[in-house]
Structure 1
């Protein structure tokens, strides 16, 4: 594990507003947090609390004609707010990567998986086409995708949502960015592949010191991977603490409500005996 040093991503006073005919309406209110190398910050909250809007604002992917972003977002000391599109394109993927909640939105339907995967690798590295293809195959194998050579020749619509999710995660991991923003990365996966993906994210943060912002409504996923947790309600972070402290001693009433709403599996002693024998 990389030792905690200075933050790789610093967010201060982040505000996001949407433009309407009646004026601007606030979506995110003065959010502050930091990401450190090799650590995972879990961002939790109910649907509509502002988690995805916050994550998209970090990589400046909100429609500028419809939204206003205020505050400071510094990646390795460099301010991202106000950068031109061409500068942001060089940073996205290589320095800060985004795993989307809906994998179908991450790929163009008119190009094969291989064309998009290999082109992305070559855009951010000096690898040849053959080297990039091998890196793609290795990365897809790492996320439990069988016959990756065949998958590279397929179009996105030929893959299931779960397979596309793993392709996107493989592409993100193989570029070794400083920061990964993972928005519900296990939503479309079964339990076995969820575990595989969490292991891969854990491996990349340990081996490469990648900082991860893990957005999830699944508190089990957060408990499994996060080091720290921030709780978002109505566009505000209402509580932030180390993961064990937050789960064991939640302070804010909203956090207490979220934890109390977790489904608990009730197993009788007789049934438990059947499971473990």
Structure 2
């Protein structure tokens, strides 16, 4: 449900996608570093909300620090959201990167890395958790599918079929998830933007003992209407579409129920200029 937003000068929190907004393959988009510094200097909180599940949180933070953006304690990944879908003590076959393993173990579940030699048969797993995995191959696909056919539920960190890089679009975690879902004949539960587990992770991160997160005072910034835009719809905040990542026409919003593009801008620097005018 969309909550009636406050005036633009009362936006307190900027929920900022990474790929296509802050950087392209860790190469900063011109003006993004300065924009974040200016927003923070003016008292806005900037929190990074990414569907990139491969890296551990400390790696995300270190990569941001390397381009001049302090980010300790301010990164929420789809791996963190996915870990909300497993229970302590469950055995989880992780077909994903170190970030997924980290999040699963932090939840109290048992992470078993799918290296292609794991026997997924005989009901040994409660869940198969899939994220971006650059070593993904046929053997890993077979192990994941076998676990699903033996009763494990399928969880995906995100459904992004691609992600932007300076070289163009490359396959995303959603492409791997689609392969596992097809081979396992299963419908996955998806954790990352724009789904409910990510909304829960954002609310938990931004709420305090004194006050819950107020989406009316937030804006979600991203380059994908189907993920970042619908994330804004789900949590009830404003949406700023930036054209610095995955670019495409957005005139046809069929299937994007409730989406309102509050700001359509070239990049994060333009949004900062608007908010700080």
Please give the range of the TM-score, normalised by the shorter of the 2 chains: 0.3 to 0.5
Task: Give the structure-2-normalised TM-score.
Answer: 0.33
The structure with the largest helix share of the pair is 1
Q: Greater CA radius of gyration, 1 or 2? A: 1
Structure possessing the higher relative contact order (Cα contacts under 8 Å, 6 or more residues apart): 1
TM-score of the two chains, using structure 1 as the length reference: 0.33
